[in-house]
Chains A and B, each alone.
Chain A
Amino acid sequence: MSAAGNSALRLKPSQLNTPVAVELVGVNKWYGDFHVLRDINLKVMGGERIVICGPSGSGKSTMIRCINRLEEHQQGKIFVDDVELTNDLKKIDEVRREVGMVFQHFNLFPHLTVLENCALAPIWVRKTPKQDAEDIAMHYLTRVKIPEQAGKYPGQLSGGQQQRVAIARALCMNPKIMLFDEPTSALDPEMVKEVLDTMVGLAEDGMTMLVVSHEMGFARQVANRIVFMDDGQIIEANVPEEFFNHPQHERTKLFLSQILR
């Protein structure tokens, strides 16, 4: 299912400054009394693709949202390309510029056209001249195979198309790391493949990716490691082969038996 497309259009992955892309050290987080992340330790190397799975409510979204500071952690340290996330707004902006994110519900800007959605951040955050930003936007829209939709509004597109625009929008900032939070779970089944194909293409280009997903076929195909979370903890993390064939923990086995049924 290699659908990376025209190789001339493949992006050159941005260079990370350090070999370690993301590092979480002893991260804890609470919502009031509710302990949502418990002592999370995770090290993601540059170019690595991590798929995170686990039951609903286990803290997967919370964890990856801490990586671009959409959520604050209360204990432990998070480093993104050697920048530590603290309350320092400059550091947060720096991290967000380098980390792209794709959401379950796309979160496209409905009042802007597809092209404007994509060119917005390069223009305002990277200060790219408008014409150049639009060229960049068209480049990535071509990459996700919807250049012809550039002039439309998000509401006129199908879910799969919207999610591909969201991916293009994130790529326009030329991020070093991409976060995906269940990118296909709000899509109709027939649209899942077009989005997964786009992501496989990204993986083949060497993008560092953290993907929350229950698409186990995708995980098998692209993941370097699969992380299983339950109850705010990382229960186990392993290469796909081992993870699927020899899960170590009872909870992992139970989860796999439910999801692979």
Chain B
Amino acid sequence: MTMSEGDLAVTEIKFVRGATIAARPPPAAMTGALGWLRANLLSSPFNIALTILIALLLAWLIPELVKFLLIDAVWTGADRDACREVVQHREIGACWPFVWERWSYFVYGSYPIPQRWRVDVFFAMLAIGVVWLLWLEAPRRDLGSVYFFIVLPITSFILLTGWSAIGLPPVDTALWGGILVTIVVASVGIVCSLPIGILLALGRRSRMPAVRLFSVVFIEFVRGVPLVTVLFMASVMLPLFVPEEYSPDKLVRALVGIALFASAYMAEVVRAGLQAIPKGQFEGAMAVGLGYWQMIRLIILPQALKITIPNIVNTYIGLFKDTTLVFIVGIFDFLRTVEVARIDPKWAAPVTSTTGYAVAAIFYWIFCYAMSRYARAMEARLAQGDKR
């Protein structure tokens, strides 16, 4: 060879790649539907067995459901005869005319018919408030919280209970019922439990013994008894202590019971969040001169609530379903109106109850699933934020 060392070096450098090779796509079996299946459903013998079991279960359930709710369902009719096998001489599924007829009862309970527009306005206002508050890109979210936490409660109260001075005849809460009551009870529970829960959680960590003792006793007592007991105490025992004429409305008593109950659970959820905040955050805040409440509001809660959101929503989902227990103290929530309607002789048929419960299940599922999805989305968003 006649090449000098220098030439050799230059030649060698020619072999150095200027650009990185693009990564090859993964093998086909790892991508697409097949890859997903393999990774998630068929990764181990146990997993395969589970997958098969669940597939069989679904294969049996879904056709049954579709058959009952849609294919065999009765869509029109005036009374029980439309939904009875002995009359119709065919297999009968869900009895939808029963639901159509009683739907307004499910929504409003016994709220006077000429006044029901007030409930509709309340639903619309609430929907606006919820969207404004939960949609993070919404304009003027500061105004949104003023609307949701101040304007909405006051106007809803006036709208629903009535105020003769502005031409809204009073409506006794004993007439309220159905989805209206379920939504009112759940909203009050959801809106009150977070702030009260935060105060209780802070109280439990307080350095003042009296505050700490009160918080601990309250939380542990309420968590130690079933909601039914709390509701009974709120509605039966309260009148024993407060004279009859001052004793608050039955619905209000149940609302207080639910709110306190939810607060105790929320307190423990928030406390877990507070405990996850490093001591250094408290010290950093104190060292720059922030007062206790400034420290809590500006430094501690924003971080603690952020990591607690999934658990807060879980508590809300539990609370939403727990609202059905108010029927114990004679309040006609949504499930109770279904209960009452299904034994109405006019619609007495073998499928009536099943249809009513199916409607109830769908209703609760939609709300709880929506909350759950929202929590998931928030979680994903926060996880993204942590990567920054």
Contact = CB atoms under 8 A, between A and B. Distances in A.
B288 A170 contact: yes
Contact of B284 (A99, A103, A125): A103
A97 B290 CA distance: 9
B67 interface: no
B281 A101 contact: no
Interface string A36-76: 00000000000000000000000000000000101000000
A6 B287 CA distance: 28
B140 interface: no
Given A107-B280, A155-B388, A96 B298 contact: no
A200 to B, nearest CB: 22
A111 B303 contact: yes
B283 A110 contact: no
B303 A107 contact: no
B134 to A, nearest CB: 20
A2 to B, nearest CB: 28
Contact of A125 (B290, B299, B306, B388): B290
A241 B302 CA distance: 49
Contacts of B303: 110-111
Contacts of A173: 288-289
Nearest to A179: B287
B382 to A, nearest CB: 11
A204 interface: no
A105 interface: yes
B291 A93 contact: yes
A170 B285 CA distance: 11
A121 interface: yes
B286 interface: yes
Contacts of B284: 103, 107-109
A106 B287 CA distance: 12
B294 interface: yes
Contacts of B289: 93, 96-97, 121, 125, 173
A116 to B, nearest CB: 10
Interface size classification for chain A: 20 to 34
Could you tell me the dominant secondary structure of chain B's interface residues?
helix
A70 B283 contact: yes
Contacts of B287: 68, 70, 96, 99-101, 103, 107, 170
Nearest to B302: A111
Nearest to B294: A124
Contacts of B388: 153, 155-156
A167 interface: no
Contacts of B302: 111
A105 B299 contact: no
Nearest to A107: B284
A153 to B, nearest CB: 6
Contacts of B294: 124-125
Contacts of A155: 388
Contacts of B288: 96, 100, 120-121, 125, 169-170, 173
Contacts of B286: 68, 70, 96
B262 to A, nearest CB: 26
Contacts of A101: 287
Interface string B261-302: 000000000000000000011011111111100100011001
A97 B288 CA distance: 7
B368 to A, nearest CB: 29
A113 to B, nearest CB: 11
B208 to A, nearest CB: 12
Interface string B294-332: 100011001100100000000000000000000000000
Contacts of B299: 109
A125 B287 CA distance: 11
A157 to B, nearest CB: 12
Interface in B169-207: none
Contacts of A70: 283, 286-287
B280 A105 contact: yes
A35 B194 CA distance: 42
Nearest to A102: B287
A170 B287 CA distance: 8
Query: Which 6 A/B pairs are nearest by Cβ-Cβ distance?
Result: A107-B284, A121-B288, A107-B280, A101-B287, A125-B289, A96-B289
Interface of B: 280-281, 283-291, 294, 298-299, 302-303, 306, 388
22 contacts: A68-B287, A93-B289, A96-B287, A96-B288, A97-B289, A101-B287, A103-B287, A107-B281, A107-B283, A108-B284, A109-B284, A109-B285, A110-B303, A111-B303, A120-B290, A120-B298, A124-B298, A125-B290, A125-B291, A155-B388, A169-B288, A170-B288
Given A96-B287, A103-B284, 11 more contacts: A96-B289, A97-B289, A103-B287, A107-B284, A109-B281, A109-B285, A109-B299, A110-B303, A153-B388, A170-B287, A173-B289
